[in-house]
Chains A and B, each alone.
Chain A
Amino acid sequence: MRIIFTLLVLGSTLLPHSALAQTFSLQGTVYDENSDPLIGATVRGPNQAAITDTNGAFVLEGVNVNDVLTISFIGYEDVSYTVNAGDNNIQLTLGVLATNLEDVVVIGYGTVEKSDATGAVESITSKDFNKGPIVSATSLIQGKSAGVSVAAPSGQPGSGSIVRVRGLSSISNTSDPLYIVDGVPLDRQNGPAGSRNPLNFINPQDIESINILKDASATAIYGSRASAGVIIITTKGGSDRLTVEYSANVQQQRPIENINVLGADDFRNLVTQEGTADQVAFLGNSNTNWQDQIWQNAIGTEHNLSVSGKLLKDIDMPFRASVGYSNLDGILQTGNFERLTGSLNVRPSFLGGALKVNANARFARENNQFANGSAIGEALTADPTQSVFSEDPIYEAYGGYYHPTSPGSSEPLFIGNPVASLNLVDNTGNVNQFVGNIQTNYELPWVKGLSANLNLALETADGENFNYSSPFLSIDNIEGGGGGFSEKTNQTMEYYMLYRPELGESPVTNFDIQGGYSYQNFEFGGGSQNIDVNSGTIIQSIPNSSTINLQAFFGRANIELFDKFLLTGTIRRDGTSRFIEENRWGNFPSVAGAWKLINENFLEDSQVFSDLKLRASWGITGNQEVGGAYPSFALYQTSNDQANYIFDDGTFGILRADPYNNNLKWEETETINLGLDFGLLSDRITGSFELYQRDITDLLNQTNFPAGTITTNRFDANIANMETKGVELNLSGYAIDREDLSLRLGINTTVQDIEVTQLNAVPNQDFVDDNYGNIGFGQNGQGLSVGYTPFSYYTFRQVYDSNGNPIENLFVDLNNDGIINDEDRFINESPFADILFNFNNELIWKNFSLNTVWRASYGNFAMNNINATFGNYNALFGQQDEPKNIVDNVLVTDFTETNNEILRSDYYVQDASFVKLDNITAGYNLSDLFNNDKLNLSINGSVQNVLVLTDYDGIDPEIGIDNVTYLRPRIFLFGVNATY
């Protein structure tokens, strides 16, 4: 009764007001930051609300002058608008929520606002990615972050990148970072057979952001596998309105440069002058540039189509589906890379947003046609006076391809016609890869701020390759070949709970704590079968099928005091099936603190600083990845059919006690990081500065065991220590920032030093482990030694004449024992740079944009093994007297031979510092030509691997040991991008 009365009273007091005021109907349109209409935005008045329609338009009834409207949309900053008299058809623009994209960084098991991050984390979003055609996910971030190097190991289409976060983290095991794709930690070790790149299943176009975790505070939550850094890849999700995006490009890859070998005339003269009658008799009359015969300008195309939107009208269920297709020829003839990718993700939320599901499925099919790489070396040495094909009837049985044939003989020597090697070998590899996961996040209704997150993931890959060589390639016309297969299944289950209470007025301005569990099971196996071309025997490999299981418990707490001081602590306890029970578990803690100086009073009125934060972190991460799956356990290995022993009383297969080391335990990496994040002049310039030291102890490495204590000579042990120190500086800012014209510059640089600090169980400063850096002939060019950079060149000291030319076979007798042998080597420079420098910029003028990416490296050295191997007159003739081409460096050295000392002469170790223009891309947005707001059309043209400036003699200064390799091409491409 009383309630009814109250209502009546209230009603009566309200009535006069509403009767007196002039209400009207207000129309308007809401746009996003790109002036595209926003669909589904909420416009809320004091008494009413409306939703924008497909044109972004709304009509709000019963509006009064001076009413305050709030316009909101997920992911955008709320805007308030006070209604004026006479308002009609108002235009409202919502800006993207500042903390939505680049200001949120994805860290392990969660996200954090950039301003609250305590670790060294770099977040690169799609708008900052390298532009142009990109086949591999990691190429998107080349040159974008200090301390992160991305280099292509080879010019083969679809080949992966070598990614290093703060340099080497291992010696004989992988230094690849851990990749997390949409919450799924990928297998680092076992790529599928027949694939060139384990990340090939992700279409780069699908990637929204890439976050790089560098220091232990950031990575420790991934404990066991994070020592080499963590790269978190987040893919694009659905959008609120139906969007179709199509992009395509056509590209041409061009070989850049040939290795300088002798031309046909010079070659003919030299052979005639130096050779015996038998040798000279081999010469032909042609003039063939064999390198031109194997390399080509290769064409490729790529297409990507994606559709995103909301799946159902009533439920919040954004989705995105994409397909991508690439078909790229390689510059080495006959090579081709074809890839089909598909992805689907659905991110519905239920229960009013309390239950969020993120489901991803990603599939890739790769068909590789591998060009026979041995043609590259053959093209260097093939006799340029011969033609590719010969009319001589003795070659009929071999497809007409010319091979050197001893004068008067009817049997070709199969020394390698590079064109035959390409055309008569068919090597294919097909791979299917699938990664799918369902991540569920549930905000538990019982306790406010408590949420549970479950992630179930499955990664599978199967690959097969087949290699067939034509009978034309064998003297006995035997066809050769073989094939192999591999398959793997990785299951992941991760679960965590997060508690983030809402805090009232309190000195603690932010607090959260989380704990979780992770389970991963990796099953992989494979086998192969080959026909021996000499004997025709079918050789079956010993099959391999292994399982590795990893489990972990982890926790993290964040606390913020007075909106100024941040503290993060993490702990992870990891278990691995690789080690025996006593050594199985490792604990990996980290702590980090940050001080938001910008929130201090003394910077409140600063005109200079718009952001300033000091960070410090310490932590330990671990590594358990060593060669096999069972390195700590005694196992017996069976043999294949070709390995037995025979007595009069029977033939027995052989069973070997495999080597194992039951002392293996977790390798530990301790990292200290000091960082400073800053923003200057209203964030027109932003950047960070990092200072770090990383000590790896108990490094899992192959080492020599005391002879006889293990059933091999070298095996894994926790044996070495390695120390890395570095400084990183990231800077980016707008040099010009006007409405029609902007120029953004990004510069980052790294100074780094890596040193081996222990190598053996017994400290021995003088010992050099020279088992690294194959330079052919079973010879190694690199060594490890305490006090030096790992993989430093290990060389003889060349003696030079007064003109500065090397004197053949004259080396400094460093140990003064009167003979020159391996003990006269010294530790030389290393292939790793002292300073790396990246520079990228983006110029936007109206609808035109221009991006360039530059990279420089200082203090890296290369070992020119091509010159060392082929730069001597002795290489002019093969074992069977056939003439072989040599490189023109011989004209400088006049060397008559190569031998084990010359191969490792420091003459061939050269400064390979360089400046590279990796990428230049120009784009033009054509949208203005169309009278349709929804259509966005742009075109772009790009050149990759544009320019190299270096003093290095060889072709590629980034190569380390310069062996015969598949050279990186220069790529020209033209692309279109349309969004509707």
Chain B
Amino acid sequence: MQRIKMKKSIVYILLLFTCFFSCTDELNQEPTDGRETDETAFQEDPLAAYQEIIAKVYASFILTGQQGPAGNADVSFPDEGFTSYIRQYFKLQEWSTDEGICAWTDPGIPQINENTWGTTNSLVSMIYSRIFFTVSIANDFLRQATPEKLDARGLTASERELVERYSAEARFLRAMAYYHALDLFGNVAPVFETDPEGFFTPERMTRSELFDYVESELLAIEGELLAPRASYGRADQGALWMLLAKLYLNAEVYTGTPRYTESLAQLNKVIQDGGYALADDYSYNFLADNHTSPEIIYPIVSDGELMQNFGGTTFIIAASLGDPISGATAESDFGTNQRWFGHRTRSSLIDKFDDFTGAGDERAIFGFDGFTKDIETPRNYGEGFAVLKYKNRDKMGNPGSNIVFSDVDFPVFRLADAYLMYAECVVRGGAGGDMATATQYINDLRDRAFGVGNPDGNVGQSEIDLDFLIDERARELYWEAHRRQDLIRFGNYTGSTYNWPWKGGSASGTSIPDFRAIYPIPSADLSANPNLIQNPGY
């Protein structure tokens, strides 16, 4: 009897446990809030999923997370607004040069202003993280767009063609991110879609290996992109030619081997085949409706309602404003109620204009009333003229769609830059162009700047040399995130051939060592990836 009861209780226990074992299926959980798994994301409308994923790759150059204006951030830093890709790229290319300086004392900013950054500088870390974030999501797109996956997801032929084009665009955007890495950091450890997902330690490339990779990648996808100007905002062949031209223009810096002829070849395509034209007015390239400018080759799109963030042109405009520009003026003239009392320019840029009021060269768009030209204390906003060429207003003077967030697209590449690059390549001995054309291009820009028919702007062929060009690039392209790269290419960044106020931390400017022509690999990544080697000097 006892035995039977024992058996009975064992059965009882086993029964319960059998039920429990089957519950272990519940250890497989999925969210129920709109987040999707690999499978569910592509289930209902695979094309829409691909479109939203490629949109994220594009958006990664300006937005900071999944929730506008802030929230659900892409990368983790104390202030999400700071982490906008173009915002950080802009800072490293402008604030460390003769064109810009910032009043804020947030970590890392004074060191960028004064060229004393170290390996843990947070601005340096942020752009580095941003570049590789874009790389990682572009890789994710490519992993989702393999032929096998496209086969399995039941796309129509035309949909498939579209996704394949997006793949080429993802590769372009990734190449652009690597080009930024090449320019800022030189020797990094790139990651590709064919690499394993998750934690591994990618191999380091030298700067010239990275150059070769970016070049070959761009050449490989040229035929797969849209024709120039086919759809505004998309990475098309015009953008690709321009990026290749930039790559070749700086090849000597990156690899030691000049490639000006190759650069000219790409520039000729941009200028002759691209269908671009100069905007009627210089300022139109920096207004809320600048998407209508025929001059813009590749923009980072911005919209005050649909793309809210604290980076991009919202940042450039708001950080430029503050007393003595009143709140009322900010609203009426700049279409924003934000005044962040941040960046201004240094006298080195102002002095490149004969008349900084804009009465002659219209490209001089500065706030000088109530400002001092010279900077005694970098953290004082009123010292140093404000740069006011970006405005959240359209050509007609109407404000942008939102009083806080800007509609102004950031002009990554525009035709004026191509003209100046053309002239530079010719001056530097590149084949495939001539000085007469170069002179014409430059005078086209200067005619627009000084007003058609005003001979003050005209330059003769003989005046066009490297010294002229580096200054002309400042006058035409200031605050478009080219300056540091340009100064390095012209040999004017490190050393003391060219000093500007607060260069190296001294009010009158002082020499900085050559190693500062590239930024350090952030120590956080060095600690994570033993394949990396710190850039020399750091």
B is a partner of A? yes
- Taken together as a complex, chains A and B put the C-alpha atoms of A643 and B52 apart, in Å, by 11
Q: A654 near B63 (CB under 8 angstroms)?
A: yes
- Taken together as a complex, chains A and B put the C-alpha atoms of A406 and B327 apart, in Å, by 12
Q: Report A535 CB to chain B, min CB distance, Å.
A: 4
Task: Find the B residue at minimum CB distance from A710.
Answer: B136
Q: Decide if A731 is an interface residue (CB 8 Å cutoff).
A: no
| Chain A 620-658 interface residues, beta-carbon cutoff 8 Å to B | 629-630, 633-658
Chain B residues with CB under 8 Å of A547's CB are: 29, 31-32
Q: A543 near B34 (CB under 8 angstroms)?
A: yes
Q: A880 near B56 (CB under 8 angstroms)?
A: no
Q: Decide if A711 is an interface residue (CB 8 Å cutoff).
A: yes
- Taken together as a complex, chains A and B put the C-alpha atoms of A446 and B341 apart, in Å, by 82
Interface residues of A, dominant DSSP: loop
Q: B128 near A545 (CB under 8 angstroms)?
A: no
Q: A656 near B137 (CB under 8 angstroms)?
A: yes
Chain B residues with CB under 8 Å of A551's CB are: 20, 23-24, 26-27
Q: B79 near A778 (CB under 8 angstroms)?
A: yes
Q: B28 near A577 (CB under 8 angstroms)?
A: yes
Q: Decide if B65 is an interface residue (CB 8 Å cutoff).
A: yes
Q: Report A257 CB to chain B, min CB distance, Å.
A: 30
- Taken together as a complex, chains A and B put the C-alpha atoms of A643 and B116 apart, in Å, by 36
Chain B residues with CB under 8 Å of A709's CB are: 136, 191, 195, 198-200, 202
Q: A652 near B55 (CB under 8 angstroms)?
A: yes
| Chain B 48-75 interface residues, beta-carbon cutoff 8 Å to A | 49, 51-53, 55-56, 58-59, 63, 65-69, 71-72, 74-75
Q: Report A404 CB to chain B, min CB distance, Å.
A: 13
Q: A630 near B30 (CB under 8 angstroms)?
A: yes
Interface segment out of the listed B343-351, B456-464, B471-479, B525-533: B525-533
Q: A712 near B74 (CB under 8 angstroms)?
A: yes
Q: Decide if B405 is an interface residue (CB 8 Å cutoff).
A: yes
Q: B191 near A642 (CB under 8 angstroms)?
A: no
| Chain A 810-853 interface residues, beta-carbon cutoff 8 Å to B | 819, 821-823
| Chain B 174-201 interface residues, beta-carbon cutoff 8 Å to A | 188-191, 195, 197-201
CB-CB contacts of A653-671 with B at 8 A, as 1s and 0s? Answer: 1111110111100000000
Q: Decide if B111 is an interface residue (CB 8 Å cutoff).
A: yes
- Taken together as a complex, chains A and B put the C-alpha atoms of A933 and B405 apart, in Å, by 75
| Chain B 484-538 interface residues, beta-carbon cutoff 8 Å to A | 505, 523-530
- Taken together as a complex, chains A and B put the C-alpha atoms of A973 and B190 apart, in Å, by 65
Interface segment out of the listed B300-308, B410-418, B438-446: B300-308
Interface segment out of the listed B89-97, B117-125, B247-255, B447-455: B117-125
Contact partner of B231 (CB less than 8 A), chosen from A534, A545, A647, A651, is: A647
Q: B66 near A639 (CB under 8 angstroms)?
A: yes
Chain A residues with CB under 8 Å of B322's CB are: 879-880
Q: Decide if B466 is an interface residue (CB 8 Å cutoff).
A: no
Q: A637 near B72 (CB under 8 angstroms)?
A: yes
Interface segment out of the listed A34-42, A608-616, A763-771: A763-771
Q: A630 near B31 (CB under 8 angstroms)?
A: yes
Chain A residues with CB under 8 Å of B353's CB are: none
Given A547-B29, A651-B306, A760-B527, CB of A711 within 8 Å of CB of B133: yes
Contact partner of A881 (CB less than 8 A), chosen from B116, B118, B323, is: B323
Q: Decide if A450 is an interface residue (CB 8 Å cutoff).
A: yes
Chain B residues with CB under 8 Å of A450's CB are: 9
Q: Decide if B208 is an interface residue (CB 8 Å cutoff).
A: no
Task: Find the A residue at minimum CB distance from B409.
Answer: A646
Q: B31 near A703 (CB under 8 angstroms)?
A: no
Q: Report A898 CB to chain B, min CB distance, Å.
A: 8
Q: B110 near A899 (CB under 8 angstroms)?
A: yes
Given A542-B66, A656-B74, A710-B198, CB of A645 within 8 Å of CB of B58: yes
Q: A546 near B31 (CB under 8 angstroms)?
A: yes
Q: B232 near A662 (CB under 8 angstroms)?
A: no
**Which of B6, B55, B118, B305 has the largest count of A CB atoms less than 10 A from its CB?**
B55
Q: Report A749 CB to chain B, min CB distance, Å.
A: 38
- Taken together as a complex, chains A and B put the C-alpha atoms of A821 and B120 apart, in Å, by 9
Q: A655 near B41 (CB under 8 angstroms)?
A: yes
Contact partner of A447 (CB less than 8 A), chosen from B6, B129, B301, is: B6
Chain A residues with CB under 8 Å of B79's CB are: 778
Q: B106 near A778 (CB under 8 angstroms)?
A: yes
| Chain A 437-482 interface residues, beta-carbon cutoff 8 Å to B | 444, 446-447, 450, 452, 475-476
Task: Find the A residue at minimum CB distance from B48.
Answer: A652
Q: Report A161 CB to chain B, min CB distance, Å.
A: 27
Q: Decide if A272 is an interface residue (CB 8 Å cutoff).
A: no
Given A706-B529, A713-B76, CB of A770 within 8 Å of CB of B132: no
Task: Find the B residue at minimum CB distance from A528.
Answer: B71
Chain B residues with CB under 8 Å of A717's CB are: 199
| Chain B 1-26 interface residues, beta-carbon cutoff 8 Å to A | 2, 5-6, 8-9, 12-13, 16-17, 20, 23-24, 26
Contact partner of B5 (CB less than 8 A), chosen from A446, A549, A652, A897, is: A446
- Taken together as a complex, chains A and B put the C-alpha atoms of A661 and B197 apart, in Å, by 9
Q: A707 near B5 (CB under 8 angstroms)?
A: no
Q: Report B436 CB to chain A, min CB distance, Å.
A: 36
Chain A residues with CB under 8 Å of B117's CB are: 821
Contact partner of A706 (CB less than 8 A), chosen from B51, B55, B234, B528, is: B528
Q: Report A734 CB to chain B, min CB distance, Å.
A: 48
Contact partner of A544 (CB less than 8 A), chosen from B33, B59, B111, is: B33
Q: Decide if A564 is an interface residue (CB 8 Å cutoff).
A: no
Q: Decide if A159 is an interface residue (CB 8 Å cutoff).
A: no
Chain B residues with CB under 8 Å of A544's CB are: 33
Contact partner of A646 (CB less than 8 A), chosen from B17, B52, B303, B328, is: B303
- Taken together as a complex, chains A and B put the C-alpha atoms of A258 and B440 apart, in Å, by 71
Q: A519 near B76 (CB under 8 angstroms)?
A: no
- Taken together as a complex, chains A and B put the C-alpha atoms of A639 and B108 apart, in Å, by 30
- Taken together as a complex, chains A and B put the C-alpha atoms of A639 and B128 apart, in Å, by 24
- Taken together as a complex, chains A and B put the C-alpha atoms of A608 and B133 apart, in Å, by 69
Can you list 15 residue pairs at the A/B interface with Cβ under 8 Å?
A409-B326, A545-B31, A549-B29, A551-B26, A633-B37, A636-B53, A641-B306, A642-B305, A644-B306, A649-B231, A662-B197, A708-B191, A711-B136, A762-B528, A779-B106
* 3 A-B pairs with the lowest CB-CB distances in the bound complex, closest first: A642-B68, A446-B5, A708-B191
Beyond the given A636-B41, A709-B199, please list 18 additional residue pairs across the A-B interface where CB-CB is below 8 A.
A495-B20, A542-B33, A543-B33, A547-B32, A634-B37, A642-B306, A643-B63, A643-B307, A643-B309, A645-B58, A650-B51, A654-B59, A655-B49, A661-B198, A709-B195, A778-B77, A821-B111, A899-B105
